[in-house]
Structure formats: structure tokens, C-alpha cells
Structure 1
Amino acid sequence: MSISIKEAAVVAPSARQLAWQQLEFYGFIHFTVNTFTDREWGDGTELPEIFHPTQLDASQWVQVCHAAGMKGLILTCKHHDGFCLWPSQYTDHSVRNSPWQQGQGDLVREVSEACREYGLQFGVYLSPWDRHERSYGDSEAYNDYFVHQLEELLTGYGDIFSVWFDGACGEGLNGKRQVYDWDRYYDVIRRHQPQAVISVCGPDVRWCGNEAGHTRTSEWSVVPASMRDNEKIQEKSQTEDDAAFASRINSDEDDLGSRQVIAEAEELIWYPAEVNTSIRPGWFYHATEDGQVKDADTLMELYERTVGGNSCFLLNLPPDRRGLIHEHDVQALRGLGERISRYYEHDLALHAQVQASTFDDSQHEGSCITDGRGDTWWQAAEGTEQATIELDLGDAFTFDRIVLMEHIVAGQRIEQFTVDVFSEEEGWQQIHTGTVVGYKCICRFAPQHCRQLRITITGSRWCPTLQSVSVYDTKSQV
């Protein structure tokens, strides 16, 4: 039995998925023994004694994230090398046996407390692959071990917004390949942190399919349920690099949710995209990459393309051997935060007059999209798949960005739209065409100077919605 367009239109996010989407932009911290061996992947033979940052300051990490405009931070509590950044009672391979703070430190606690101090959400990454732990490869024994460590993180450090799993998998010291008990992991997370999303190898948030910050032209949050199953069961082998891993899972396909795709699906789910990349070529700090830090303009391009492309943006910031975010990275991140703040501070469409060609009722008329509220929205009449919305800004302004947001609590519906501006000399002129909107779509174009603009929804699933339309001038803010 095929899925109808109306059925596809009403697939909506869970409360945890919605709260995650509203974060928009958050950081990733990769910091472990690899930082001191100058490697990307450790092999588990590293001695805890090499973990010896001399100026480690978790507050500096969080302040840098806050200055960049981030709303959360995910810490790699254990990478593939198996070294734990907290004093786990289930292994000696941890900070407890390092010289850092004379073995009395707990980096997970320091980061979680710094996040609370500066108002950021805290998340954890725990690698399922553990190249140090001897039980790895003895699937039942290791799954017990992994769950014990997972429970330590979920119960000892306050609220967690994301548990981030990758699919790295290899053979244990016994030569056997580990079989992960994903369902058991998920049950533990739901029991201890029910508001946390489970990301990448998990049911709540999917990987976009690459680690380069690339996004799709049309990023659907409503996709076939088989997408989630494939993300869970496809695991990265010990010898496989990221590009090879991405090439064999369908999360890197360009079309995940068009009408053609959903027509062949048996079930649809809300499974939104996260885009991740690093501020440097590597995920861990390497002094040789100090001159290869992405600058503020590059980061701003990534931010607008990802957050403005119906995705969340996860940016990695690797602390150096001192235990600090490097000065080059700090400069770029502060520049990014300043740009985000300046570019999107003043909405030229706030309280603009709106005329909609259709609306559902008086509670969902056109004026809802410029009232500055998050609890109102415009909605077309039932069954209407095309609509025109005209805005009068009250005066002529110069602008180069329009930000559209659907009311995704009701689903993702808009498939195609255009933007036009009006002048007395030339009448209506088209300046932008777009496909999906979803949570947020940032339309970028050459500066326009006008008083009136028009958004025409040319394709939609059932009746389209818009929660807001905002207009910004970024060029004069440079």
C-alpha cells in the first residue's frame, strides 16, 4: 500500500528532535591521547602517562563555543583508543592513571559544568570501538562493559542533549569481530536521558553522509524508515576510511525524500540531518595544521549553508597539547560569532504587512509570519498546495538574505518556491528559486532595494505552512 501525500505531510518531529533542531549549531571536542601522539586514530597501546595537558581549561573551550554562536558542545569522552576522559570504574585506561591533576581529574565533569555555567547544552560521544579493552570481540562481555560505561556518563553529569555514536567497528584481540547491541544501548539512553537525541548510528538524527560540511540542495527530514535501519547496521571497518564508509551507505545519496522516493517507501519517519566537519583538516590537533584553520568567512559560508539548509551544524574544535583551543581557531570562531550576530540581528520584515492568497482560518493568517512569535504560523487552506504571500516592509530597504521557517511541528511540506521583488520601473522580478524549507532555509542573493517582496509556493505536500519570514541586510554589516 503506497503512502499518500497527506500522510507524508503530517510526519513530524518528536519533542527531543524539535529541541535538538532549535539548537542549530554546536561544537565537537576531540581531545585524548591522540593529541599527544599526533595521530587521528589510536591503537589502544598508548600509556595513560602521555596524557599530560599543562594548561587545560574547559571554561576556555566553552567560552570559545559561546562566542562562536554555538548552543551546545559534544565531548569525545572515549575515542577508538579506549582512553576515558573520566575516571571510569571499569577500566584503568583513563585519566585516573595520567599525570593530569595527579590522577584526580575528571574532564567530563569539568566540561559539563562549564557548559552549564555558560548556558550551553552538553552532549557525549562514546566510541563503540575500543582498541584497548580486552573483552572487545567477545560480544556479550564487551556489550556489558560498554553499557556500564554508558551508564556512568548518562547518570553522573547532569542533562545530556545528544549521545553521538559513529559506526567504527573492528576485531578484538581474540580476532573476533564485535557485534554491537544497539537496541540495548538505546534502551539505556532512553531510560536515563529520555530527552537526549541519539545521533548518527541512532534513531533520532542522521549523518548527512560526509565529513566535509557538504549539504544537499533538498534536505528532507521526512525519509523512508529504511534510512534509519541502514544507518544502524552499516558499520565502519577497521581499515575503512570515511570516504569509503560514506560511499556504501545511502545517506550520501542526493535524493532522500522526494515524491518519487516516498512513493516506494513502506513507512516514513522524521529523521533530520546533522552536518559535521572540523575547523582543521584533522579531528585532533596537529601543530602542522596551525596554518590550515578555516577562517571566519569560510565558517560563515558553512553555517549559512548547513543551518540554512534544514540541517544542524556540528563543528569540531580540537584543543592543543596545552589543553586550550589554539589562538588561530579562537580568532576564526570569534569572527564567525560576530558575523552571525551582526548579519541576523535586525529583521527588516518584523511586523511587515502581509497578504496571503489563502489561509486556513483567522488563527493562521499571513500576519503570523512577521509577528516575531514562535507559537504562531501561517497555514494554507486544507488541500491547497500552491500559495502566494506578499510582504510590504513599509519602506524601501536594501537586503540580501531572506530566512524562511516552516512550522515543522505540523510536518515538512514545502517542495518548491520562488522569491520576487517589486519595483515601479520593472514590476515583479524573480531573484531566487528554492526547493525544501523545513526548519530553516536561508535564501542568499545579490543585494536588492525595494519595499515589496513576494514568496510563491509552487509545490507543496497538502497545505503548506510558514512560521516566519525574515529579511536581512548583511552587506552593510561587514
Structure 2
Amino acid sequence: MWLNSYSHFFKATIACTSLLFSPVVLPTLHAQEQNVVIINPTDSPAEIVRKAANVVPSARQFNWQRQELTAFLHYGINTYTGREWGDGKESPAIFNPTDLDADQWIRELKAAGFKCAILTCKHHDGFCLWPSAYTEHSVKNSPWKKGKGDVVREVSDACKKYGMDFGVYLSPWDRNSDLYGTEAYNDFFVKQLTELLTQYGKVSEVWFDGACGEGPNGKKQVYDFVRWYELIRKLQPEAVIAVMGPDVRWVGTETGRGREMEWSVVPKDNLNQDAIAKNSQKEVLTAPVGDMMGQDLGSRKKIEKAKSLIWYPAEIDVSIRPGWFYHEEQDSKVKSPKELMDIYFTSVGMNGVLLLNLPPNKEGKLSEADIRSLHGFRQLYVNTFTDNLLAKAKVTCTLSEGKGRNVIDDNYDTSVRPKMKDGKAVFSFKLNKPATFNVLSVQEDIRKGQRVEKFSLEVKDAKGNWKKVTEGTTVGHKRLLKFPVETAKEVRLIISEVRAVPAISEIGLYRLRLVL
């Protein structure tokens, strides 16, 4: 992933707020909930917190968050040059996979539990993986399938076949186009974007990065993001626009790790786009820096200074290899199943969506090393999360809405609202027999806001005393916590700090099993 300039995006976002952050229609009980709220100068801290608690995702954002696992497919001319960034001068003749198998890519991703695949349809080099009518720098001038091939078509068709969502990455920076650096380039870009949005069926995610370097003429481009957003909303209204877009933000690092406090409700006006541009693509394995890359984006202290608040969730991207494109010398450096499991905990388990990159090789297939790791990850996931140890427990909690067993029914759509006493809510669980566990999972129904600020898990020991075993801050769509192994028959989840009464969807206890 490459992010070099957010300033244009930020201006564009302000310009088209009414178009992009439209209110969400919910039942009358929660009619005040919406996707963006204005903070008035006269609002008290308590009123600001109340407003923050009622910011909710749009339908497209909610559907995106529910995917949890998404995949990046970095593939193109760089696959055959050994580069990460091409210069746009490559000959299309270089692109000639001997056995391209998009069916294999999507089949393996589907088997591993992934819900969406995003293809790098055009990277910075300008080489198009579809036969675009607006450039000669594409597969139509390659020897692959005698110039009749279309990688985008094959991937989108495979996604339809296996029931996966399809997403497109289209680099705004084009190092091949002579139009780059002129207003005519925005017309050119719109034409290519239109091809992708109208010729390949449903598109679930459109992914822009912020790279804005020089073109072949030495000029830089002023991107017309507002126009691009409007086109996407018109042609693919259910698609989220990610990273350089209004629906999904970059988490700020490419380590596969979210924040201890990962708020999806953040100030719209204090995200320092220039700081992101300055720090991206440099020390990508270091801790986040700058406003958007800081550890605190949405605390009470942060939102008190805001002029408006938006629902802007985090996408957490990381590659299964050191690089984003395939390099044969990295075959021995593929992340292990255990490493991928750790990343699941620190991405999806920290209120984010994981975007895992798996680059096809020169042959045109996912490499065996990547597939083995992917299979291993899936096995570890199934071994750990198949059985919720609380599924048959007796649940006790004073509720204002819903039934106690809703939190252990494996149904996200059935949530409960606890009655808060002295600012706390307690969910008590009594099992039929002692169980051994070391993972806690908690989920909020984010359609009713992100509201939990602090929670803890306690177990009753042999002497009848309660002992805290772990604690966390934010929850959001999903929060996973690992802790030393405990065995108990009675446990309780204590929610001790909230912005408003939360809607708790699911609570689970699991045993982490890392043996294949």
C-alpha cells in the first residue's frame, strides 16, 4: 500500500459532505443516530459524548466491517521486473504469465474464510490488467493470450463463481500517461474508472492510495477526488471508497496492528493529511506517527476539540511477504500461520478489517508457500473459534432491551442493552462444568453506535473469590483479548465505562489452539 498525499482528499471530503456522509435511517427508537454530526461551540463535554455515541456506520460501511477478512492481490508488470514501483517505461511484452489461474487465487482465499478480493488493476506504472480503450500500456499489447486476455475479467468472474466480493485498486499516479499533470488527466482517469465500474459487475470496494509523484512530463497532478467519488456513488452506490476516500481510513501502519483504543468515531477536522503523506511509505514497520497515525484518534479528549464527528473505520493492511509484489527470493520469508493468527487478533480483534496481501507469482498463481500458510491460518482459526465455551451457560444480566442469551446465540443481529447501575453493567455466566480458556471476544452492534470505553473479565476461583484476568478499552465490531489460561465454572464481564448504554451483540470465551 502506498499513501503519499492526503491533502486533496481532505479538501474534497469537506466539499462533498452531504453526498458522502448521508444519514442512516434506523428504527424510530434510534432516529437520532447518523453517520456524521456537527459539534456546536456551545455543546458541553457531556453533549459531545452523547453525539459521539450516536454516530453510526452507513449501510456500506457496516457491510464492509462485517467482512473481517479481505485480500489484496498485488499483480502486474512489477511481478515480472522485480520492482515494487514501476516507472511506466516497461514494455507490455514483459507481461506473459505461463499459467494464470485467477480461479485458484479466489478459490484458496474463499477456503481460508476471506470475503473480498481487491486486485491492483493499475499500479503507478500505468500498466492496465484489462484492455482499456484509453491507453496502449495494457494487457492488450502483451503476448499473454495474444493480447486478448483480461485479468480483471478473470478475477471478477472467479469472485462471482465463489461468492466473494470484488474490489478494484486503481492508482491515481500514472507514470506512463503523457496526460498526467494536466486537467485532461482527470478526464482520462474518469474514463478508466468508468470502465472498471461498468464492465465487471458489482464492485464492493474501490481503493485509492495517495501516491502523487511526477509523470513522464515531470509534472504532478491535482486529483479531482470529488468527481471520482461522485462517479463511484453513481455507478456502484454500495461500494466503499477506501483509504483516499470517505468511507474507510488507513490505520496508519503496515504492521497488521490496530490501536489499543480503535475508535471508529473520529473528528473529521483534525486528521492531519500532510503528516500522513510525509510519513507513509518510509518506515512502514515503525509505530504510527502523526495525527491519523497516533495512538489516540477518538478519545473524549480528542472529540471535545472537534468541529464534527464521522464514522471512519480502520482498514489494517499487511502483506504475507516482506514486499507487496511477488519476489522469488522472499519465498522463505512468508508469514507463518501463527503470525497470521496474531495479526487476526491485532486487526479484526482490534475493531478493524484485515486486508492481507497475497501476490500472485510470475506463473500467474498464488505460490505454494503462501497457500500453505493460508491453510494453516484457517486451521488455527477453526481450532480456536468453532466452539464458544459460553454457548450453553446460564446468563444473568439486568437488561433494558433484548434477552440475555442473545449474547451467546452466535447471531450478530440479536443484541442486548444492559441496564447500567452506578455506571456499570455486569454479564454473569454459569457453566455446567469448569472450562479452560484464554481468549475473550466481545462485540457491539455498531449499527447502534460504538459506546464501550472500558471492560474487564473476572473468574470465580475455588474459594469463591472473583479475580480479574484481563481488561480492555474500546470494543466496536469486535474486540479479542488473549490472557494466561484460566479454568473456571463462573465468569463475569464487567462493562465499567461507556459513552451511552451499549448494544452488546456477542460475548465468547475460547481456548487458543496453535497446534496444526
Coarse TM-score class (shorter-chain normalised):
over 0.9
**What is the TM-score with the length of structure 2 in the denominator?**
0.88
**SS of corresponding position for 1:101:** helix
- For the residues of structure 2 that align with 1:334 and 1:52, how far apart are their CA atoms? 28
Matches within 5 A, 1:253-402: 253-356=294-397, 358-361=398-401, 364-381=402-419, 385-402=423-440
Paired position in structure 2 for 1:49: 93
Q: Which of residues 205, 208, 212 in structure 2 aligns to 1:162?
A: 205
Residue 153 of structure 1 pairs with residue 153 of structure 2: no
2:489 counterpart residue number: 451
How far the C-alpha of 1:407 sits from its partner, in A, is 1.2
- SS of the equivalent of 2:468 reads strand
- Cα 1:374/1:241, change in 2 over 3 Å: closer
Q: Corresponding residue for 2:104?
A: 60
Report how far residue 81 of structure 1 moved. 0.1
Which region of structure 1 is more displaced relative to structure 2, 375-384 or 423-432? 375-384
**Partner of residue 454, structure 2:** 416
Given candidates 212, 227, 230, the residue that maps to 1:184 is 227
The alignment partner of 1:432 has SS state of strand
- Aligned-residue sequence identity (percent) comes to 47
For the residue of structure 2 that corresponds to 1:398, the secondary structure is strand
Matches of 2:429 and 2:353, distance apart in 1: 28
Q: Deviation of residue 374 (structure 1)?
A: 2.6
Q: Distance in 1 between matches of 2:406 and 2:355?
A: 31
TM-superposed CA distance for 1:190, in Å, is 0.3
Please say if residues 210 and 246 of structure 1, whose CA atoms lie closer than 8 Å, have aligned partners that are also in contact.
Answer: yes
Does residue 108 in structure 1 map to residue 152 in structure 2? yes
Report the Cα distance in structure 2 between the residues aligned to 1:348 and 1:321, rounded to whole angstroms: 45
Distance 2:514 2:318 in 1: 29
Find the counterpart in structure 1 of residue 31 from structure 2.
none
* 1:107-155 CA-partner distances (Å, limit 9, x unpaired): 00100111111121110000000000000001x1000000000010011
Change (3 A) 1:246 1:184: farther
Aligned to 2:28: none
2-structure distance, mates of 1:4, 1:366? 30
Amino acid of the residue matched to residue 404 of structure 1? Answer: V
Q: Deviations over 1:146-182 (max 9, x none)?
A: 0000010011111111101100001233332200000
Q: How does 1:245-260 map to 2 (within 5 A)?
A: 249-260=290-301
- Checking the alignment, whether the CA contact within 8 Å between 1:351 and 1:372 is kept in structure 2 is no
1:429 is the counterpart of 2:467: yes
> Which residue, out of 161, 165, 175, partners 1:117?
161
Hey, what's the Cα distance between the residues in 2 that align with 1:327 and 1:378?
45
Change (3 A) 1:383 1:265: farther
AA aligned opposite 1:258: S
Answer yes or no: is the 8 Å Cα contact 1:382–1:462 preserved in 2.
Answer: no
Asked if 1 retains the 8 angstrom alpha-carbon contact of 2:380 and 2:513, the reply is no
| TM-score between both structures, scaled by the size of structure 1 | 0.94
Counterpart Cα distance in 2 of 1:316 and 1:71? 13
Partner Cα separation in structure 2 for residue 204 and residue 249 of structure 1: 20
Deviation for aligned residue 1:248: 7.0
Q: Give the aligned CA root-mean-square deviation in angstroms.
A: 2.0
What is the alpha-carbon distance in structure 1 between the residues aligned to residue 287 and residue 218 of structure 2?
25
Match of 1:98 in 2: 142
1:241 matches 2:281: yes
- In 1, the alpha carbon distance for the partners of 2:211 and 2:459 equals 49
- For 1:290 and 1:454, the matched residues in 2 are separated by 45
Q: CA deviation at 1:368?
A: 2.0
Following the alignment from structure 2 to structure 1, what is the Cα–Cα distance between the partners of residues 109 and 143? 27
Q: Give per-residue Cα distances to partners, 1:293-335, cap 9 Å, x unaligned.
A: 1111111110121111100000001111111111111111110
Q: Which amino acid aligns with 2:283?
A: A
Alignment of 1:210 with 2:248, yes or no, is no
Structure 2 Cα separation of the partners of residues 155 and 293 of structure 1: 36
Paired residues of 2:253 and 2:288 also in contact (CA < 8 A): no
Cα deviation per residue 1:224-245 (whole Å; 9 max; x = unaligned)? 01256x55x77858x9734389
**Which residue number in structure 1 is paired with residue 129 of structure 2?**
85
- Equivalent pairs, count: 471
Q: Deviations over 1:402-422 (max 9, x none)?
A: 211001110000001110011
In the alignment, is the contact (CA less than 8 A) between 1:400 and 1:475 conserved in 2? no
Runs of 4+ aligned structure 1 residues displaced above 3 Å come to 233-237, 239-249, 381-385, 475-478
CA, structure 1 residues 327+372, in 2 after alignment: closer, same or farther (shift >3 Å)? closer
Sort the Cα spacing of 1:240 and 1:132 in 2 relative to 1 into closer, same or farther, 3 A.
Answer: farther
- Distance in 1, Cα, partners of 2:340 & 2:349: 13
Deviation of 1:5 (Å): 1.5
Partner residue in 2 for 1:195: 238
Contact 2:156 2:166 survives alignment (8 Å): yes
Question: CA–CA distance in 2 between the matches of 1:465 and 1:351?
Answer: 21
Distance in 1 between the 2:196 and 2:248 partners? 20
Output the CA distance in 2 between the equivalents of 1:59 and 1:220: 37
The answer to whether the Cα contact below 8 Å between 1:48 and 1:95 also exists between their aligned partners in 2 is yes
Distance 1:476 1:182 in 2: 45
Pair 1:127–1:234, CA change in 2 (3 A): farther
- Contact kept? 1:30, 1:284, Cα under 8 Å: yes
Unaligned ranges ≥5, structure 2: 1-40
In terms of mean alpha carbon deviation, does 214-223 or 123-132 score higher? 214-223
Structure 2 counterpart of 1:87, which letter?
P
Equivalent pair of 1:385/1:462 in contact (CA under 8 Å): no
Q: Distance in 1 between matches of 2:205 and 2:168?
A: 6
Change over 3 Å in CA distance of 1:42–1:205 after alignment to 2: same
Work out the CA distance in 1 between the residues paired with 2:152 and 2:465: 59
User: Could you tell which deviates more after superposition, 76-85 or 167-176?
Assistant: 167-176
Q: Where does residue 65 of structure 2 map in the other structure? A: 21
Aligned to 2:117: 73
Q: CA deviation at 1:359?
A: 2.1
Counterpart secondary structure, 1:467: strand
CA positional deviation for 1:373: 2.5
Unaligned runs of 5+ in 1: none
Give the secondary structure class of the aligned counterpart of 1:459. Answer: strand
Q: Displacement, 1:355?
A: 1.2
Q: Which amino acid aligns with 1:124?
A: V
Q: C-alpha offsets along residues 245-281 of structure 1, whole Å, 9 cap, x if unaligned? A: 9977522110000010011111111000010010110
Aligned partners of 2:133, 2:48: CA distance in 1, in Å?
Answer: 52
Distance 1:148 1:193, change over 3 A: same
Residue in 2 that maps onto 1:127: 171
